[in-house]
Amino acid sequence: MLVSCGWQSSNTDIINPDADFLYFYWATCPHCQELNTMLEDGDYLSKIEIEKREVYYNDVNRELFLEVIKKYEISERESWVPFVLNKKTWKYVTGSKEGFDMLTSEIKK
């Protein structure tokens, strides 16, 4: 018997350098999984220009995350996942609710 918890679908990178938002996550982070589920449940990924990158298992993505942290002089205390950066305003947030609010804030109602 196979049982799926939906884990795989929410752990897919979206490589879109032209996106408005950059979202870094860990595949096994419960907070990241919460944000992924919220985005998928509302079909928000089809409504948001997002670049989504897993940083725990993917060395290239982790290096990009570290570059962003260094470039914007983000403290170690604030450099955890889920991490969402608005590339238009250069504002960032960490946390599932905060990330969801930022990502969905510009959706046309």
Q: Which of 22, 27, 1, 2 is nearest to 12 (CA)?
A: 27
For the chain, how many structural domains are there in total? 1
Q: Report the CATH number that the domain containing residue 50 is assigned in CATH.
A: 3.40.30.10
pTM: 0.86
- pLDDT category at 10 given cuts 50, 70, 90 is low
Is 7 within a domain?
no
Tens-digit pLDDT profile for residues 23-72: 999 999 999 999 999 999 989 989 999 999 999 999 999 999 999 999 98
CB 82 within 8 A of CB 35: yes
Measured between alpha carbons, how far apart are the two ends of the chain, in Å? 42
Task: Give the whole-angstrom CA distance, residue 65 versus residue 80.
Answer: 10
- pLDDT category at 109 given cuts 50, 70, 90 is low
Question: Which residues form the domain of 83?
Answer: 14-104
For 85, phi and psi rounded to 5 degrees?
-120, 125
